[in-house]
Amino acid sequence: MSDSTPASREPAKHLIEVAATEDNSMRLDSFVARKLDLSRTQAATLIANGHVMVGNRRERASYRPIAGDRIAVEIPPPAGREVLGENIPLDIVFEDDDLLVVNKAAGMVVHPAPGNWTGTLVNALKGRGGELAEAGGEDREGIVHRLDKDTSGLLLVAKTDRAHRVLGAALQARKIVRRYAALCWGHLDGDRATVDKPVARDPRDRTRMAIVNTGRAARTDFVRLARFDSVDLLRAHLHSGRTHQIRVHLASIGHPVVGDDTYGGGGGRKLVALPARRHFLHAAWLRFEHPVTGAKMDLREPLPADLTQSLITVDGSGTLSANSDLLEHFGFYRDDN
């Protein structure tokens, strides 16, 4: 988590810290742009308007941070910015009058934020027309939980405030079952593992999450479905939904998600036939009670084509077919934990 839940507003102020081990040769505007996924022009504008502080002082865009600098960046809310609907195709797995479930594509941001004001799932949902729950706020209408930008798979959207309220409560009570397919580097010590470690913003780099003793409680159960030469195929079961939880938990035990540039798993892409800017994490299985009818919902989404090809590559047996559900083949949907 993937992935964070419930959908709540983050503070506008982002604090980042230069690595203490060495000076930084990058200009301040370039550094801020890279850390916050902004354009260099956007970063330079923030600096010029006094929204970037190095320690307790202002610096020019050309300043080069040195070891130990603490750089605070405040991104003011855009005045009068309206989240507009856009004609962006969506893969709708289920829909009725109360909710819908989207198979989110990798590369799509869930809701507007600095650096991603357009092209998001919310823009696409508003572009479809129809009702969306307003409980999440104008820029997060309908969103019950989130998936990371480069994580694909199933995501719940509420159409009414009632559905949003009931689903949000079910999420908090851990009554919504979310299971992810993940490929991790190396091999777990056994076929099952549980990581129960608190997660919070990394105090040294506010663009990342980390295991922090004062963070929010987070637990993920992992089941190994297959062991290959250099990677394991896992099923991850979220018991909580902190930002980047699965990725942080796997990295914390030395087995980062394959392709995860942020948490140490980004190397070896050619070895696993994984495209650039993609990590192997997919929200494949979602179970919950319908917020109005109470019906048992069981939704499953096979691996997308890029992850299917990656799994065929690491398997190397020549027996797997891109036209079959490889998660079914490896027993992903067995309800044994």
Mean residue pLDDT across the chain: 88
For residue range 214-273, list pLDDT tens digits in order. Answer: 899 999 999 999 999 999 999 999 998 899 999 999 999 999 999 999 999 999 999 999
pLDDT band at 37 (very low <50, low <70, confident <90, very high): low
pLDDT band at 8 (very low <50, low <70, confident <90, very high): very low
Residue 6 maps to a domain: no
Residues 6+ positions from 219 with CB-CB distance below 8 Å: 194, 195, 196, 239, 240
Residue 43 maps to a domain: yes
Whole-number Å distance between alpha carbons of 321 and 201 = 40
31 and 56: one domain?
yes
Q: Which of 98, 139, 148, 150 is catalytic?
A: 148
Is-catalytic flag, 148?
A: yes
pLDDT band at 204 (very low <50, low <70, confident <90, very high): confident
Residues 6+ positions from 217 with CB-CB distance below 8 Å: 196, 198, 240
93 and 166: one domain?
yes
Residue 1 maps to a domain: no
193 and 146: one domain?
no
For residue range 191-201, list pLDDT tens digits in order. Answer: 999 999 999 98
Please tell me the predicted confidence (pLDDT) of residue 135: 75
Residue 280 maps to a domain: yes
For residue range 292-330, list pLDDT tens digits in order. Answer: 999 999 999 999 999 999 999 999 999 999 999 999 999
Domain tally, the chain: 3
Q: What is the DSSP string of 79-104?
A: TT-----------EEEE-SSEEEEEE
182 and 154: one domain?
no
Give the mean model confidence (pLDDT) for residues 99-104: 98
Residues 177, 287: contact at Cβ < 8 Å?
yes
Domain with 215 in it: 174-337
132 and 211: one domain?
no
Residue where a domain stops, chosen among 110, 140, 173 = 173
Residue where a domain stops, chosen among 22, 52, 74 = 74
185 and 320: one domain?
yes
